Each structure stands twice: as C-alpha cells, then as structure tokens.
C-alpha cells in the first residue's frame, strides 16, 4: 500500500481515461483500494428502486471511483506531484507537510 498524499477537498486533474483534462474536488478517499471519488468526474448511471429516501426511484447519475494514479494534485493551476517532508514548527515539534515537488512550495 502506497503512502496516500491526497485528501478530501483537494483539487485534482484527471490525467488518464475518458475524463482526461477535467478538474474537480475530491469528495471521498478510499485508501484501501487506492481510489478517489471526484465531483463531476467518472459519472455512472445507477437504477434505483423507490424507497423512503427516494420516493420516485429511477435512473440516478453519480460519481464512481477513479484510481489514484490517474489524478494529479492541482497547485496554482498546474498539476504537480506531491511529496511529504518533516518540518519543525515554532514550538520545535516535528510536523509532516505536503509539498509540490516541482517548486518545493509547502502546501499544508
């Protein structure tokens, strides 16, 4: 299992597949299967029966999972690779932060 550098709320760009070039925010992260759900990307149709939550039933479109390797984090409108490094804060505590590998800028 690889070290997961993406989080929910990150903006990513799809770099492979039918939605190549599209951007969106990560809704959900599945660390076990190394997949992410991105809003508006990789939409699939699902047929649902009428239920208490959905009285009408019918055909619903929803996001389906996309593999981690097919998305890249977007930093300043450019897709970048992410790295993780340890940095000391003001109090002298060591903290792990993500950074853009191309520029070296700390993301969070």
CA–CA gap between residue 71 and residue 61 (Å, rounded): 21
Asked if 98 contacts 107 with a C-beta cutoff of 8 angstroms, the reply is: yes
Q: What is the pLDDT along the chain (108 residues), one digit of tens a residue?
A: 567 899 999 999 999 999 999 999 999 999 999 999 999 999 999 999 999 988 888 998 999 999 999 999 999 999 999 999 998 888 889 999 999 999 889 987
Listed by start position, the domains of the chain span 11-100
- Residue 106 phi/psi, 5-degree rounding, is -75, 130
CA–CA gap between residue 66 and residue 22 (Å, rounded): 13
pTM (predicted TM-score): 0.83
Specify the CATH architecture of the domain 11-100. Answer: Roll (2.30)
Asked if 40 contacts 24 with a C-beta cutoff of 8 angstroms, the reply is: yes
């Amino acid at each position: 299992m690889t070290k997961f550098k993406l989080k929910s709320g990150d903006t990513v760009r799809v770099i492979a597949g039918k939605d190549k070039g599209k951007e969106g925010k990560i809704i959900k992260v599945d660390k076990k299967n190394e997949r992410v759900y991105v809003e508006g990307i990789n939409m699939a149709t699902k047929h649902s029966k009428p239920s208490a939550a959905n009285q009408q039933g019918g055909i619903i479109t929803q996001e389906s999972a996309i593999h981690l390797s097919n998305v890249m984090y977007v930093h300043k409108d450019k897709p970048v690779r992410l790295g993780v490094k340890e940095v000391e804060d003001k109090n002298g505590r060591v903290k792990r932060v993500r950074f853009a590998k191309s520029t070296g800028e700390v993301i969070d």
